[in-house]
Amino acid sequence: MWYKSNGKDGDIVISSRIRLARNLKEFRFCGKMTADEANAIIEKTKNALDGRKFKFINLSNMDKTDKLLMLEQHLISRELAESRLPSGVFTDKDNEISVMVNEEDHIRMQCITGGYDLDGAYEKLNALDTSLEEKLDFAFDENYGYLTKCPTNTGTGMRASVMLHLPGLAITGNINNVIAAVNKLGIAVRGLYGEGSKSAACIYQVSNQVTLGITEEETLENLKNVVDMLIEKERQVTKALYDNNPLQFKDKVGRAYATLAGAYIMTNDEFMKLIPYVRMGVNMGIIDGVDSAAINSLIIELSPAHVSKLMGASNAAQRDEKRASKLREVLGKEEK
């Protein structure tokens, strides 16, 4: 899984993602489609992917918890999870590439990698897009580019995004000013699960807003310029927090670590409030024995649906108990 690796600039960058929106020329957009048309698109996509090692997951009859688990892993979107049309997702064996069918658009393919690697994600997804375009007739206009249900995606149909951990900027109250500044550059800053979601654990998704009148390469370059600035700014702010009062900084990190490593009941809200301090402590060498990739895994795997499905918790109280047990195990305080 992408979140289990600690890639380039892993102290700040959790993941890089490229997403392409495509529609089939012979079908109406999803808002006007029938169930029969939706099923036909699934079949056409399956045939186009023939020969590639993708697993198809039918979402139409899947229960809510299973859908939320995939959403927490960022394999599908909230829109696809809530779709009333026949829908599904094709995933590769590493869950790095997924192809969502009948979300807002007929096809939304994405590649997500650990760390800062927009170019690598783009190269992999561009190869898949080229392969699919040889077999599927995408809706394309010579003047406007790829046609999408929402006009804001028309053009390249590409959303490039980087998931950043920005606790220094959030703790110091500078994050709102930063968001306002990058918005003026045509870059959006959203929460943990993208559009319409709030930040959790001081994690933000930074992505392009413009898709029309700009090339994919220009989009990547513009986004990387902003991300590079945010990485530098976050490191500066975190260092200043430490330099201004090392004892207070270590105390906040130590208290957060002690609570997470020693608790027997841990709610998701409390976990999300404390884990940024632990991640900062790991990256600054204050906490030994765990790396930032392990923290990334905890953020995903201790989300509600994961705890319910993979740890067998049937209610909120059991989730809080099992979440605490996993934290004691990973952070080294589990009783023998």
Averaged confidence pLDDT in the chain: 92
What is the average pLDDT across 232-241? 95
Residue 25 has pLDDT above 60, yes or no: yes
pLDDT at position 1: 76
C-alpha dist (Å) from residue 154 to 22, 133, 315: 9, 17, 43
Of 191 and 126, the structure prediction assigns the larger pLDDT to 126
Superfamily the domain 2-236 falls into = Glutamine synthetase/guanido kinase, catalytic domain (3.30.590.10)
Task: Work out the end-to-end distance of the chain between its first and last CA atoms, rounded to an integer number of angstroms.
Answer: 29
What mean pLDDT comes out for the span 189-198?
A: 70
CA 264 from centre of chain = 29
Q: What is the pLDDT of residues 242-300, one digit of tens each?
A: 999 999 999 999 999 999 999 999 999 999 999 999 999 999 999 988 888 999 999 99
pLDDT range class, residue 194, cuts 50, 70, 90: low
Asked if 161 and 274 count as a contact pair (C-beta separation under 8 A), the reply is no
> What's the pLDDT score for residue 335?
41
Average pLDDT over residues 141-167: 95
Confidence of residue 198 (pLDDT cuts 50, 70, 90): confident
The full set of domain ranges for the chain reads: 2-236, 246-331
Mean pLDDT calculated for residue range 179-191: 90
Percent of the chain with pLDDT over 70: 97
For 247, counting Cβ atoms within 10 Å of its Cβ (0-12 exposed, 13-18 middle, 19+ buried), the class is exposed
Per-residue pLDDT tens over the stretch 44-94: 999 999 877 899 999 988 899 999 999 999 999 989 998 889 999 999 988
At residue 334, the pLDDT reads: 45
pLDDT(170) > 70: yes
Instruction: Please tell me whether residue 177 adopts helix, strand or coil conformation.
Output: helix
Tokens 């700040």 -> residue: 12
In DSSP terms, which residues pair with 58 in a beta bridge?
A: 88
